[in-house]
Structure formats: structure tokens, C-alpha cells
Amino acid sequence: MTQLEYVPQRPGCKDCEIASLATVTGAAYEEIAGVLGIAIDPTTKLPDLSKYPAGIDLLDVVYPLFRLGWSAAVVVTQEGFRKAEIGRFGPSSQQLKADLAGRRATIGYVDTDPAVGNHSLAWDGSIAIDCSTGERHSLDNVEIHNAVILTRLESPIRMSAS
């Protein structure tokens, strides 16, 4: 897999999922925000995340990504369900790490820095990219709570005005 160029997060925003999705898909930040129905302030260039104060809801990205020509599978790990106190089952973080090799995804985890908290990384199939800094690192010390696994479709849906 070729190394992805990262799309940076905007300052002071919980927009890591927008930046990570843009990085993984190769789309512009504004295109991902737009398809998710998130307005960008023309002056500050910051996204209006008022409907997502805690960050983007992963289930809200599936259909918009489909419209852009990507199939998105949302997977929650045992650790993610446990943290959310939901009595469901998923793969362990370690199992999911093994299954992500060679696949594009965004990775959700809780950062050790409490100021960051819940965070998403772009995954290019072999290395994680933190879109807040551009740093690249392995998943060795990351406990994955969820992932949006992306597969390119043959062609995107034609976007209509409605």
C-alpha cells in the first residue's frame, strides 16, 4: 500500500474523524465534512460540530461514505463495548489489529492524554497516522475501541442536490 498524505485536523476541534476519513479516502477535508452535513465557517475554516459535541457518531458516516464510493464497516471491540458499558460482543482489540492488515480504516481509541480523550487515527493498512500532528506509529500500544473499515467501491453514487 502506498503511504497516505495526512489531512490535518483543524485547531481546537474534535474533528479527528473528519481528518482521518479524508486521509484514508484521499478526499478533501471539506468534501468529507460536506457529505456528513457539517458546515465549514468560510472565515475561520472551522467545522460546525454543534450536533457532535463529543465527536462524530460513527454510525452517521456509513451512508455518506457509500455515496462517495466507499463501503464502511463499523466494528466495535470488546474493549469498546466494555468502556461504553454496553453488553454486546465484538472482537478483541488484538483480533481486530490482526484483521486490519492491508485494509484502510479509521481507528478509535482513548488517548492517554486526558485533554485528547476519545480520538481517531487514520490507518493505511500498515501504519497509523495521527491527523492532529501528522505522526505515524504502530498500533502496538493502542487499545482499539472501534474502527471504520473502508473498501473502495467500483464507482460513487452520483450526488444530487436533494
How many structural domains compose the chain? Answer: 1
**In this structure, is residue 161 part of a structural domain?**
no
User: Over the stretch 111-129, which tens digit does the pLDDT of each residue have?
Assistant: 988 888 899 999 999 999 9
Q: Residue range 133-152: average pLDDT?
A: 96
CATH of the domain at 59: 3.90.70
**In this structure, is residue 147 part of a structural domain?**
yes
* Rounded Cα–Cα distance for residues 124 and 121 (Å): 10
pLDDT attached to residue 3: 74
**Residue span of the structural domain in which 41 resides:** 16-152
pLDDT band, very low/low/confident/very high, at 85 (cuts 50, 70, 90): confident
**In this structure, is residue 61 part of a structural domain?**
yes
* Rounded Cα–Cα distance for residues 38 and 126 (Å): 30
**In this structure, is residue 82 part of a structural domain?**
yes
